[in-house]
Amino acid sequence: MSETSRLRRLRATAVHATLGAAGPLADVVAALEFVQYDPIRSPARAQDLILRQRVRGYREGDLDRAYPEFGLEEGYLHVYGAMTRRLAALADPRAHPGFPYRPSGVAAEVLALVGEHGVVHPREVATRLGDARVENLWGGTSTASTQALDELHRHWLVRVAGRRNGVKLYGPAEPPTVPAGRDECAHRLVLHLARLLMPVPLSSLRSVLVQLRRRGGIDASKAVDALLESGELVREPAAGLDWLRPAGADVPDGAATGRVRFLAPFDPVVWDRRRFEALWGWPYRFEAYTPAAKRVFGYYALPLLAGHQVVGWVCSTASDDGLVLEGRFAGRPLTGKAFRAGFDREAEQLAATLGRRLRSATLTP
């Protein structure tokens, strides 16, 4: 197979790995098992933008409303998001020997308070234990008790029971389960991540597992080599990278449908920037935290997918008057009537997801 054919198949695999026919929310969440969260709303939060591409009739906030019913766990996997309890049990280090974390000081007091009172709001904890402030990870300040809640959550000792006006409510963590031995948990976890991000460059998968360990989950770094040796992970070289996918995973060989989609910056299709540039030949960047004068794409650029090609990006402006969208191309503009019709249809569907009127949707070469 030629290099061009390999890349074409890899692009198709990247799109079809998680983007298929839209289904009910419960079925989609059960299949994905993990949905990344991000609080920025421009025009909507990452979880809503991700799920609107996969859930039939999805409306902004549907996942929040279904969170208690679905029995999800909010927290870190390789990044922050909502995951099924099956997946959380695989990543939870408490179930295995050698769990190193022991809370002390304010964290120990907060854990005792949560155990005594059940679900708590951070403000209630600060009222009971004091509102002394400390520097947080983002350079600002938080109350010491709120930072302790975050620390306990990161180490799986409390859980997010829900949200009130967007603020996390914390409750006692479920007792750890032991779905399998440490090695087997690591293998299942790696296979899940490889399926979610497939085809995933070997270097990217290793980086993902480093983040999992740093953020409090189990150390699964040795599982990749074992799965490659056993054949449960398949390796394919192309474009100077080794690409991995679980054995038996569907690899599409048909033509693209040509559907136009506006993806979230954190959508599994485009999440890995190394993979993005190798597959589509241009360097997409997320620039919400880049100084405005240095932005190339805009504050919150939505990758513009047409069939199996990411051809540009879309920026939005939302106001009480409605939603304004502007698409730009990364290379040669697409000018066909079918593409334009697909772009307009996707713009209308995004506005419907947000419950807003679409004021305009333009394309700039």
| Alpha helix positions (H), the chain | 3-16, 25-32, 46-52, 62-70, 85-91, 105-117, 122-129, 144-154, 182-196, 202-214, 223-230, 273-280, 337-354
How far is 205 from 191, CA to CA, in rounded Å?
Answer: 10
**CA 98 – CA 254 distance, rounded (Å):** 48
Question: 78: closest CA among 341, 272, 283, 275?
Answer: 272
pLDDT of 168: 93
Q: Which domains does the chain have, with CATH numbers?
A: 97-172 (1.10.10.10), 260-363 (no CATH)
The confidence score (pLDDT) of residue 132 equals 65
Q: Which residue has the tokens 């079925």?
A: 27
CB 170 within 8 A of CB 160: yes
**CB contact at 8 A, 315 and 345:** no
pLDDT tens for each residue of 119-138: 999 999 999 887 665 554 44
Residues of the chain where predicted confidence (pLDDT) is lower than 70: 131-142, 253-257
**Residue range 312-341, pLDDT digits in tens:** 999 999 888 899 999 999 999 998 999 999
Tell me the CA distances in angstroms from 103 to 97, 127, 149, one per residue in order: 17, 20, 11
Which residues are within 8 A (CB) of 111 and not within 5 positions of it... i.e. 6 or more apart?
103, 152, 157, 158
pLDDT at 327: 97
**Residues in a beta bridge with 134:** 142
What per-residue confidence (pLDDT) applies to 154? 92
User: Can you give the pLDDT at residue 138?
Assistant: 45
